[in-house]
């Protein structure tokens, strides 16, 4: 938990975390190597130097390291575990729900476990989604529209089978649909992450929340024009946040545009762990202030109220987390120290 200089406690829900395996033992082909190397390039280029990991640690950090970085060293109170399967690139998958469940089951008071689906799996995949939802009590899924599958190099949310999966999510009560719509990762195709298909499905599925991870970057304008009209479209700040260190002027542009178009109630904090660790991101975010000229020109401000919402309260609302009750559960789960 983050505490302000005045002693106020800020409840933090990290909306975008992973427990991946990009180790050489799991890499299936050159594309798997390209993918994890590209992740590491983002990590090393955008992190403060003192927070850059050795490549071997980055490839596979494991559940214990993850827990420490998020909740012991980091300020996270809870974290949402997202899946990215990439089974065409990795023998056992890059980041599956089974991998994520290892850490989630050890610390149920800390983690929200999300699933995934791929509409190209058609009926077989629908049956698997039913089973996954029943086993893990899913409240959300993560979609990777640029993922390769055989000869296919991506899909759109508006594809007929994708629409069937979204209908099934509504039926199953899986309300939160996280979608990677951000920078490309080698070897995936940039245009397969285009945000245009979000507009269509958000209109058609009013019972679902569409959390557009990475705010559509580098398609910020397109995303904002969609999200301002669709009340059930939200922005996940993973990938946008690290620019607060490496390119603060760019971050100022991004966050001020998001506040202008979407408002403070529709933005969610995400570290994108393990590409970045949450401690330094939260420290810099809490210290960040919009320049006076930006506040005047755009009529927005990143107030303490806005920061509380973005860091945790907005995600708590979407996932039905009672913050005070959750604080008690976390406190009860902490190891007791002998007197």
pLDDT band of residue 208 (cuts 50, 70, 90) is very high
CA distance 323 to 15: 15
Which among 63, 162, 182 has a CA at the least distance from the CA of 113? 63
Q: Global pTM?
A: 0.95
Q: Is residue 330 part of a domain?
A: no
pLDDT at 322 (0 to 100): 96
Q: Is residue 152 part of a domain?
A: yes
What would the pLDDT profile of 50-65 be if each residue is shown by its tens digit?
A: 999 999 999 999 999 9
Torsion of CA 84, 174, 101, 47, to 10 degrees: 50
pLDDT at 13 (0 to 100): 98
What is the number of structural domains in the chain?
Answer: 1
What would the pLDDT profile of 299-317 be if each residue is shown by its tens digit?
A: 999 999 999 999 999 999 9
pLDDT band of residue 9 (cuts 50, 70, 90) is very high
Question: Percent of the chain having pLDDT more than 70?
Answer: 99
Q: Is residue 329 part of a domain?
A: no
Q: Is residue 265 part of a domain?
A: yes
pLDDT at 336 (0 to 100): 55
> Which domain covers residue 208, as residue numbers?
11-324
pLDDT at 335 (0 to 100): 67
For the record, the structure tokens of 240 come out as 């946008």
Which among 258, 254, 251 has a CA at the least distance from the CA of 235? 258
pLDDT at 51 (0 to 100): 97
Q: Is residue 333 part of a domain?
A: no
Q: Is residue 73 part of a domain?
A: yes
What would the pLDDT profile of 126-185 be if each residue is shown by its tens digit?
A: 999 999 999 999 999 999 999 999 999 999 999 999 999 999 999 999 999 999 999 989
CA distance 275 to 52: 9
Q: Count of alpha carbons within 13 Å of 210, Cβ hemisphere only? A: 29
Q: What are phi and psi of 132, to 5 degrees?
A: -65, -45
pLDDT band of residue 334 (cuts 50, 70, 90) is confident
139: Cβ contacts below 8 Å, ≥ 6 apart: 112, 114, 173, 174, 175, 176, 319, 320
Q: Give me the CATH number covering residue 198.
A: 3.20.20.140
Q: Is residue 335 part of a domain?
A: no
Q: Is residue 100 part of a domain?
A: yes
Q: What is the DSSP string of 253-292?
A: HHHHHHHHHT-GGGEE----BTSS-HHHHHHHHHH----H
């Amino acid at each position: 938990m983050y505490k302000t200089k005045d002693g106020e406690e800020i409840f933090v829900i990290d909306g975008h975390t992973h427990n991946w395996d990009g180790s050489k033992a799991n890499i299936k082909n050159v594309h798997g190597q390209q993918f994890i190397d590209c992740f590491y390039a983002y990590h090393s280029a955008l992190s403060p130097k003192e927070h850059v990991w050795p490549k071997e640690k980055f490839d596979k950090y494991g559940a214990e390291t993850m827990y420490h970085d998020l909740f012991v060293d980091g300020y996270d109170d809870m974290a949402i575990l997202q899946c990215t399967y990439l089974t065409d690139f990795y023998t056992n998958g890059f980041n599956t729900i089974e991998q994520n469940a290892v850490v989630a089951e050890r610390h149920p008071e800390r983690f929200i476990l999300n699933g995934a689906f791929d509409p190209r799996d058609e009926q077989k995949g629908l049956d698997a989604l039913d089973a996954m939802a029943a086993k893990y009590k899913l409240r959300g899924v993560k979609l990777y529209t640029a993922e390769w599958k055989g000869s296919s190099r991506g899909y759109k949310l508006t594809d007929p089978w994708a629409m069937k999966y979204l209908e099934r999510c509504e039926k199953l009560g899986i309300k939160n649909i996280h979608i990677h719509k951000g920078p490309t990762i080698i070897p995936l195709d940039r245009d397969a992450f285009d945000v245009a298909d979000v507009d269509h499905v958000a209109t058609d599925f009013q019972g679902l929340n569409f959390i557009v991870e990475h705010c559509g970057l580098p398609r910020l304008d397109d995303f904002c024009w969609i999200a301002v009209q669709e009340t059930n479209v939200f922005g996940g700040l993973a990938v946008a946040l690290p620019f607060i260190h490496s390119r603060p002027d760019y971050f100022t542009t991004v966050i001020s545009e998001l506040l202008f178009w979407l408002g403070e109630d529709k933005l969610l904090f995400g570290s994108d762990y393990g590409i970045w660790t949450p401690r330094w991101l939260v420290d810099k975010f809490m210290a960040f202030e919009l320049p006076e000229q930006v506040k005047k020109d755009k009529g927005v401000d990143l107030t303490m109220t806005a920061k509380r919402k973005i860091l945790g309260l907005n995600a708590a609302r979407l996932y039905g987390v009672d913050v005070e009750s959750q604080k008690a559960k976390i406190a009860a789960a902490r190891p007791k120290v002998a007197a």
